[in-house]
Amino acid sequence: MVFTLLGGIGLFLLGITLLTDGLKGLAGSALRRVLERFVRGPLTALGSGTMVTVLVQSSSATTLATIGFVSAGLLTFSQTIGVLLGAKLGTTSTGWIVSFLGLRFSITAFALPMIGVGALMRILGRGKIPHAGIALAGFGLIFLGIDTLQVAMADAADTFNPERFPGATFAGGLLLAGIGVAMTVVMQSSSAAVATTLTALHSGAVDLNQAACLVIGQNAGTAVKAALVIIGASTAAVRTGVSYILISVFIGVLAFILLPWFLLYAPYLSAPLEPEPGAVSIALFHTVFNIAGIIVLLPFTDRLTRLVSWLVPEKGPALTRRLDRSVANVPPVALEAVNRTLADIIAAQRGYLEKILVQSAYGPHAEKDRDAIASALDHTHRFMDSVDSDTSNRKEYARHLGVLHAIDHVDRLMDICREARAMRRAPNTLERRKITEKLHEVFAVVDGWVNGSIENPESRLRDLSKSIAEIRKDTRVSILEESACQGFNSDQTLRRLETLRWTDRTAYHIWRAVYHLSANGSGDADPPYPS
């Protein structure tokens, strides 16, 4: 019996894993687009979280993705509350699948062909077909696992008497909920834990009250994985994980409050669905107490956001807050995190250079700012070393290459920042004022790009860079001729020329860095620096 039970759980877990991987592969970047584009207010966030969880059949996958997205800056912390509530609702779909299809109909005869066809699609298919094959095989394994669990639970029903388990007392309910949490932690899947409970109820190994208490614990057990992920993570990730833990605990408490009412009215609620309260009733209870929790919490998402922000204050360098280790193994999200971090670094470099150009704004703190920027850039280098993109995915590879191009230009800007102090000693001539005015226009475009008021800055920066290059080339000749005619000393002449070159290089590297960050990682070669 024990080996059969373990085998059934293993088949179900393997099926859930394959189904999740297959559906995620089929969706590609669609899940990311859903969370980015449709998460606007609490209701859209709730719908997006529910839809994504139903698609991938894993609330943990949605939760971990959400933690990664908020770490990378793809979502704000306040937007994640609705997504997390949606993940709670979406995970209840597994109970309906198991209770309606897995237990009420014998589909083992269809499960084996599904596994076989799915395996062939995985081996022989091209494009999206292998992902569809993995999902199909996973679906078949889920039902094969349910069938195996039924066999094991039938033996358990003959061996164990439900009366030997904790009774319908508050302490007994808490103990069963604790067992449910442990089942989710051990199986690493609330779906598998719920499926095991529904099968045990269907076979008579546990009664309705015991199954309900187990499911309450299993629903809350998903928070344990979130708690493990946020250890040592960024502030944004920790806040998201803490929010999910608080939501899970609140819904668990609410479920216990609703439990007596469910047990009282279960015969009437389940009458249209099954002859006597059973697996379908538990699936209904699982959905109802999650919906009740959502109804109560959704109007208070802003207050929950403020509470968690107070519990988990911001800490660490602001420039690298998005570079969280939890997203390093998800290349598309990791690259987006680096992309946004580089944008922040460019904005900080622009601020430092502004202080250099404006004499009155320069002070001792400016050098500390420069050192902080350099430290953030070093951190970005180390983070990129841990990002391993799929070279067979042309779009992902191009994005990775584009980010590397951008890092190279930001490195050159860092060198320019280190040289900037010498520019303060250059003569305040007409050509310097003229070319500096153009550079301020470059800075204004960067500001607009960072704050979102300018969506496509590349063409404007290109034109400004070329304009500055033309000023540099034209003025260079006149400076040399003026020096020859009026006998200026060579040191002063060289400083004037170096100021022109420094300004030109600044505009060029800003243009190219922003180009690679704004063009979604096209990865194409840079035009040669104008001679």
Strand blocks (E) in 205-331: none
End-of-domain residue from the set 283, 311, 339:
311
Query: Does 348 lie in the same domain as 205?
Result: no
Task: Determine, yes or no, domain membership for 526.
Answer: no
Q: What is the pLDDT of residue 158?
A: 47
Question: How would you class 82 by CB atoms within 10 Å of its CB: exposed for 0-12, middle for 13-18, buried for 19 or more?
Answer: buried
Measure the CA–CA gap between 455 and 443, rounded to whole angstroms: 15
User: How would you write 261-310 as a 3-class SS string?
Assistant: HHHHHHHHHCCCCCCCCCHHHHHHHHHHHHHHHHHHHHHHHHHHHHHHHH
Query: Does 144 lie in the same domain as 26?
Result: yes
Evaluate if residue 20 carries a pLDDT over 50. yes
- Please compute the mean of the pLDDT values over residues 442-469 and round it to a whole number: 88
Q: What is the pLDDT of residue 166?
A: 63
Q: What is the pLDDT of residue 371?
A: 87
Higher local confidence (pLDDT), 152 or 505? 505
Task: Determine, yes or no, domain membership for 252.
Answer: yes
Higher local confidence (pLDDT), 138 or 316? 138
Query: Does 339 lie in the same domain as 306?
Result: no
Task: Determine, yes or no, domain membership for 531.
Answer: no
CATH number of the CATH domain containing 340: 1.20.58.220
Q: What is the pLDDT of residue 369?
A: 83
Contact 72, 329 (CB under 8 A): no
Query: Does 177 lie in the same domain as 92?
Result: yes
Query: Does 159 lie in the same domain as 112?
Result: yes
Evaluate if residue 215 carries a pLDDT over 50. yes
- Please compute the mean of the pLDDT values over residues 164-168 and round it to a whole number: 60
Long-range contacts of 115-118 (CB under 8 A, 24+ apart): 115/140, 115/141, 115/144
Residue 143 tokens read as 């039902």
Query: Does 193 lie in the same domain as 75?
Result: yes
Give the domain range for residue 135: 2-311
Measure the CA–CA gap between 133 and 118, rounded to whole angstroms: 4
Residues 472-492: tens digit of each pLDDT: 888 877 777 776 776 666 677
Task: Determine, yes or no, domain membership for 53.
Answer: yes
Q: What is the pLDDT of residue 108?
A: 62
Evaluate if residue 37 carries a pLDDT over 70. no
Query: Does 382 lie in the same domain as 288?
Result: no
* All residues at 6 or more sequence positions from 305 whose CB lies less than 8 Å from its CB, including other chains: 77, 78, 81, 243
Evaluate if residue 28 carries a pLDDT over 90. no
Measure the CA–CA gap between 474 and 147, rounded to whole angstroms: 82
Query: Does 114 lie in the same domain as 51?
Result: yes
Percent above pLDDT 70 for the chain:
75
Query: Does 405 lie in the same domain as 278?
Result: no
Of 189-203, 294-308, 355-369, where does the model show the most confidence?
294-308
Q: What is the pLDDT of residue 360?
A: 47
Task: Determine, yes or no, domain membership for 513.
Answer: yes
Query: Does 61 lie in the same domain as 132?
Result: yes
Q: What is the pLDDT of residue 521?
A: 47
* All residues at 6 or more sequence positions from 442 whose CB lies less than 8 Å from its CB, including other chains: 461, 464, 465, 468, 506, 507, 510, 511
Q: What is the pLDDT of residue 172?
A: 83
Query: Does 125 lie in the same domain as 59?
Result: yes
Domains in the chain: how many in total?
2
Evaluate if residue 38 carries a pLDDT over 90. no
Residue 351 tokens read as 């601020």
Q: What is the pLDDT of residue 147?
A: 65
Conformational region of residue 28, where left means phi above 0, alpha means psi within -120 to 50, and beta covers everything else: left
Evaluate if residue 299 carries a pLDDT over 50. yes
Residue 429 Cα to chain centre, angstroms = 51
- Please compute the mean of the pLDDT values over residues 57-83 and round it to a whole number: 73
Query: Does 283 lie in the same domain as 431?
Result: no
Of 25-29, 134-138, 264-268, 275-279, where does the model show the most confidence?
264-268
What's the pLDDT band for 407 if we cut at 50, 70, 90? Answer: very high
Q: What pTM was computed for the model?
A: 0.67
- Please compute the mean of the pLDDT values over residues 78-84 and round it to a whole number: 82
Measure the CA–CA gap between 154 and 138, rounded to whole angstroms: 24
Task: Determine, yes or no, domain membership for 185.
Answer: yes
What's the pLDDT band for 258 if we cut at 50, 70, 90? Answer: very high
Q: What is the pLDDT of residue 57?
A: 61
Residue-averaged pLDDT of the chain:
78
Can you tell me which residue has the tokens 């996958």?
61
Which range has the worst mean pLDDT, 16-25, 478-487, 489-498?
16-25
Higher local confidence (pLDDT), 2 or 217? 217
